Amino acid sequence: MKASKRTGIASTVTASFASIAASLALTLILSSTLALITPDQASAQLARERANPNPPVSLTFMAPKHINLYTTEALAAGELHYSIMHTFGEVRSGIEDLWGMDNGANIRLSIEYGFTDRLSAGFGRASTGKMIDLYARYALVRQTTSGSTPVSVSLVPTLGITTTSLDFVEPSYDLRDRLNFGLSLPVSRKMNDRLSLLISPMIAHFNRVGTELPVADGTVNTYATVALGGRYKISPSTALSLQTLPALTDSEPLKPNFALGIDIETGGHVFQIFFTTSEALNDPYLLAGRNGNLLDREFRIGFNVNRLFRIGG
């Protein structure tokens, strides 16, 4: 009888230890899983800060895109950036067309994923030209908090293909004719907690152009400019934003691009509302497109919705 009781007690103790071990194992598994998918990893951040006494500056800009321009705001490894961009018709159409809202929107959807803390890549699709584009972003240099590295520099190559129907054009467009290429080198500096500045040399090339494409000059294949941008925070979650792309290409119909907006951060979302002289939402058409004249009220309302997710890393 006593032996039976001892056996029962031993079984109970063994089961209890097994239950505790299983609970601890489950807790460790869940903790590890949550660490992969939650954006706030305080302990990991503290460890990184101890390991790197001179870390890169953060939040030079509120989002990976500044109105239309790529920024140096690199994605972290395992971070996903989803963007919805819009521009409407010109506001000079007046109240009859709700200041351009009724004239249809150019929309671009894009997804970008961070493979490392320096390298990310993505793809997008814009309704203008029904253009699909692939792009990558690599952080060449990152501004440091000590000022030992004064600026951040990134390299952004793009490849686009116009998929809209061009059957009416002779000679017909083949795949090579539909391709365009772009390259930008955004350079930024976070001057202080309020002011950030951006300069971005840009070049874009279309294998074939013509009046059938939404470009300002159907005789010019290659366009170049040096874009300028800036952001000034007026509150912890709100900033005024500015961008301009001078018309540096030798083309009489080409006009500069200008945009002025406001950025609003709400947790994982960044909303950007702006006025712009261009309907374009990707680099090649931003350089080559039909920009309006600001003084003639040839500008549009636009807005972007940016969402950041952490899905791994």
Q: Which of 13-27, 36-50, 84-98, 235-249 has the lowest mean pLDDT?
A: 13-27
pLDDT tens-digit readout, 52-79: 778 899 889 999 999 999 999 989 999 9
The model's pTM is 0.80
Q: Give the chain's radius of gyration (CA, Å).
A: 26
Looking at the predicted structure, is the pLDDT value of residue 36 above 70?
A: no
Q: What is the average pLDDT across 80-92?
A: 90
Place of tokens 């406001």: 262
Q: What pLDDT score does 148 carry?
A: 92
Q: What pLDDT score does 294 carry?
A: 79
Q: What pLDDT score does 108 carry?
A: 95
Would you say 258 and 240 are in contact if contact means Cβ atoms under 8 Å apart?
Answer: no
Q: What pLDDT score does 288 carry?
A: 94
pLDDT tens-digit readout, 119-131: 999 999 999 889 9
Among 272, 281, 274, which Cα is nearest to 299's?
274
Q: What is the average pLDDT across 30-36?
A: 42
Which stretch, 5-14, 16-25, 75-84, has highest mean pLDDT? 75-84
Instruction: Express as a percent the part of the chain with pLDDT over 90.
Output: 64
Q: What pLDDT score does 160 carry?
A: 96
Looking at the predicted structure, is the pLDDT value of residue 42 above 60?
A: no
Q: What is the average pLDDT across 228-239?
A: 96
pLDDT grade for 50, boundaries at 50, 70 and 90: low
pLDDT tens-digit readout, 88-98: 988 877 787 77
Domain boundaries, the chain: 42-310
- Look up the CATH architecture of domain 42-310: Beta Barrel (2.40)
Instruction: Express as a percent the part of the chain with pLDDT over 70.
Output: 83
Would you say 244 and 256 are in contact if contact means Cβ atoms under 8 Å apart?
Answer: yes
Q: What is the average pLDDT across 18-35?
A: 42
Q: What is the average pLDDT across 32-55?
A: 52
Q: What pLDDT score does 2 carry?
A: 44
Looking at the predicted structure, is the pLDDT value of residue 11 above 90?
A: no
Q: What is the average pLDDT across 276-290?
A: 91
Q: What pLDDT score does 207 carry?
A: 97
Mean model confidence pLDDT for the chain: 84
pLDDT tens-digit readout, 96-118: 777 777 777 889 999 999 999 99
pLDDT grade for 270, boundaries at 50, 70 and 90: very high
* DSSP codes of every residue in 222-272: EEEEEEEEEEEEEETTEEEEEEEE---SS-TT---EEEEEEEEEETTEEEE
Looking at the predicted structure, is the pLDDT value of residue 211 above 60?
A: yes
Among 49, 32, 98, which Cα is nearest to 301's?
98
Q: Which CA distances in Å does 248 have to 181, 242, 276, 292?
A: 18, 19, 18, 16
Q: Which CA distances in Å does 200 have to 66, 69, 72, 142?
A: 11, 8, 10, 15
- 102: burial class by Cβ within 10 Å (0-12, 13-18, 19+)? exposed
Q: What pLDDT score does 107 carry?
A: 93
Looking at the predicted structure, is the pLDDT value of residue 188 above 60?
A: yes
